[in-house]
Chain A
């Protein structure tokens, strides 16, 4: 059974810092991995999708990497802003999507 772990559970940083969120998974037979952002009480907003054959994807200040063999993915956020404050979730897709518990990020002005 696929297990997805996200570290840290919570992170607080001052505005402008670069930061890294981590995601690990136990079964490397995945189709893809997706990073999401969730604001309180809202649905999930897709940030980046990495196919199993890819090593990384970039969108603006976000960069996600995937190392399937070691079962790890990282989400790098450059020059963080208060508007980045949210919970970040990673999900691995093999037959069904399994989610980590998320990292709650707070960016202080």
Chain B
């Protein structure tokens, strides 16, 4: 059974650009959550999608957005990138409120 797949694994972008990250959940999982991990702030919740609807949102500016498709795949978008957006972005998938499984993450570097 395939795990959670995140693409790309690594990304380098310039300040002011925008970026789109992708997450394919485990088959049958309809919930996808996104997290930002930095050395200073740890793991912070960005948002959760369930059946194409945003169910929860963390405390991040509007530059961070996401969506979920009918096949449960999810994308997150960050516009007008800032240096402080450099982080490991992780997504997790779940079936209901059960065990969460994480992908390997996308390492975003903003220069």
Residues of chain A touching chain B, judged by Cβ–Cβ distance below 8 Å, are 31-32, 34, 36, 41-46, 49, 89, 91, 93, 95-102
Q: What are the nearest 7 A-B pairs in CB distance? A: A99-B43, A44-B102, A43-B104, A49-B99, A43-B102, A96-B56, A31-B97
Interface size on B, residues (CB 8 A): 23
Chain A to chain B contacts (Cβ below 8 Å), 7 pairs: A32-B97, A36-B102, A41-B88, A42-B104, A44-B102, A46-B100, A46-B101
Residues of chain B from 73 to 106 with CB closer than 8 A to chain A in the complex: 88, 90, 92, 97-105
Mask for B30-61, Cβ within 8 A of A = 1, else 0?
A: 00010100000011010010000000101000
Q: Let me know if B107 is at the binding interface, CB within 8 A.
A: yes
Distance in angstroms from A15 CB to nearest chain B CB is 28
- CB-defined contacts of A43 to chain B, threshold 8 Å: 4, 6, 90, 102-105
A31 to B44, CA, bound (A): 19
Distance in angstroms from A100 CB to nearest chain B CB is 8
Known interface pairs A96-B45, A96-B56; 19 further A-B residue pairs with C-beta atoms within 8 A, sorted by A's residue number = A31-B97, A32-B97, A32-B98, A34-B99, A43-B4, A43-B90, A43-B105, A44-B90, A44-B102, A49-B98, A49-B99, A93-B100, A95-B56, A96-B33, A97-B35, A97-B92, A97-B100, A99-B35, A99-B43
Distance in angstroms from B56 CB to nearest chain A CB is 5
- CB-defined contacts of A91 to chain B, threshold 8 Å: 43, 100
A45 to B35, CA, bound (A): 15
- CB-defined contacts of B4 to chain A, threshold 8 Å: 43
